[in-house]
Structure formats: structure tokens, C-alpha cells
Amino acid sequence: MRILVTDGMEKAAIQQLQANGHEVVEKFYEPDVLGAALQEFDCVVVRSKTKVRANHIDEAIKGKLKLVIRGGVGVDNIDVAYAESKGVAVRNTPAASSESVAELALGHMFALARFIAAANVTIRDGQWNKKQYEGIEISGKTLGLIGFGRISQALARRAEALGMKVVYTDFLGENKNFPQYTFMSQAELLKVADFVSLHIPMPADKKAVVGEAELATMKPTAYIINTARGGLVDEAALVKALDEGKLAGAALDVFVEEPTKNEALYKHPKVSVTPHIGGSTQEAQGRIGAEIVSIIESFA
């Protein structure tokens, strides 16, 4: 197969594909030329930067494209139903980065609880704000999980080990395999959780799942973490809630626009931010690469 890798891939995986007899081209194409470029490839491998939309598919099927692989969990950047309706298969690597994203979410929880991000910045600026940074202990607090898939379950295990109470909501309903955690509605969860972490795809209507009304129901001492998809939390409403003291803090790895230009958000003293690095660990990249190779070999 002739394979296009647009957003980078683990080198060992590329070498394995080449050893298996495939041709691999590493190149990013801007949206206006992507569709035409895809005509020359059997398969394209993307991460989050490249968007494969219906217009790209329409052009690509004039050539030989038959497989789109998303190296990661979410496929929001691919028009999946449209691609498959045109005979182009879409695959992803849902299990590969679960542990990495869960660990980043947990890291952000610690950063918020103990002012790690804020103190790191101020002390480098010559400030010694010892008295201002009285934090809280995570142990004994309630973690509310919106969505209860692989990443959420991985985070739940870690939170449980730290002495947290775990509650969750999910569109599939209660998961009987986890009786130690409490299932409840999203509305109930937002009211009781000390930390709320989102682990769901973007809804079809692209509307925020947590907006001004939802934030208003949370404890003023609570924190919200989003390592899932930019836009799940209304950014303007979040800044407003933080400014008005209706929320203790927030942590974001994903944004509506990436790279984000929302200075009011990423410079906010109550916000811990990272640049969409949930799956960016050596281990996760190795697993993603291996899974991509497996998908291509089974497809070929």
C-alpha cells in the first residue's frame, strides 16, 4: 500500500511498515490541497491536526484511497459516516493512549489542588507566595467522571487508589462491572463532585456539554478538567465562572481553537493548561504505532 502520514507517527512503526513492503510518505497537506493529494494514496494516517472532511473524501475517491486511520481515540476530525458511505473505511486506536490521558488528567488534578502550575510560574518571577498557596488534599474528595470509557476507567482506578470517591455518568447507563463506583445523572454529578473530568466525544451538534447553566450548579470549591475535546466546556462561560468565584479552578489540555488564542483563558491564574498532549508519551506513541501497523496489515 502507499501510505500518507500527515501528522507524524512513531519511527519504529514507519520502519515496520516499510519492512512489510509498504511505501510511507510523511507530509502535511493544507486543507485546500489535501483531497487531491489523497488520490495518490491507499491509506492516510492522521492525528488531530489534519481534518478529513466530506469534500476531501469526494476528491480522494477519484483516486485510490480506501482507508483513513486516526492515530488516537476520537474521530471528530474525520467525517466518518460520509467516508464509509463512499467506500472508505475509517479506523482508530482507542486503547493505545488510555493510560497516558488518564495520567495527564490526574496530573492536572494535583496541579490544581496544590497550585503546582501557578506556583511554578510565580516563583520563577521572583515571588514567594507561600501563604497564598494553601491547597487541598485529593484523598477523601469526590471525582465525577462524565463518560465512562477506557480513559475514564483508567482515571477511576488511580483516583480510587488515592482515596477518592468516584461517581460517573455515561450515555450507556450504569456499568455493572464497576460496583465500587456510583452511577448518577450528569446533573447530580455536577452538584456533588469536587473534581469533574470529561471523557466523551464532541456531540453531533457541537454544543458545549458544560456551559454557564451547568457550571452554576457546581460547588464554588470544585475544579473541572477537560482532556477530551475542545469545546466540551464553554470557554467564555468558564472564564466568567472563574472570575466570579463560582468555580475554584480548571485544567485544559484541549481547546476550541488549537493553538488557542484565548488569552483570557490560558493566562488565567486559576487555570492549568497543556497543549493537547494527552497521548504524548513514549509508551502511548509506541502502542499507537503498533496498532496502526496491525490495522494496515489486517486491511491489506
Q: What residues are labeled active site? A: 229, 258, 276
Strands (E) located in 97-232: 142-146, 165-169, 182-183, 195-198, 223-226
Strands (E) located in the chain: 2-5, 23-26, 43-46, 67-70, 89-92, 142-146, 165-169, 182-183, 195-198, 223-226, 249-252, 271-273
Name, in order, each residue with C-beta under 8 angstroms of 130's C-beta and a sequence gap of 6 or more.
none
User: Longest Cα pair distance anywhere in the chain, in angstroms?
Assistant: 65
Helices 98-113, 116-124: axis angle to 10 degrees equals 60
What distance in Å separates the CA atoms of residue 73 and residue 98, rounded to the nearest whole number?
8
SS3 249: strand
What distance in Å separates the CA atoms of residue 219 and residue 192, rounded to the nearest whole number?
7
SS3 49: coil
CA torsion sign for 74, 77, 78, 79 is positive
On the CB side of 288, CA atoms within 13 Å amount to 27
Residue in 16, 48, 52 with CA at minimum distance from that of residue 37: 52
For cell 485510490, what's the residue?
Answer: 64
Name, in order, each residue with C-beta under 8 angstroms of 212's C-beta and a sequence gap of 6 or more.
234, 237, 240, 241
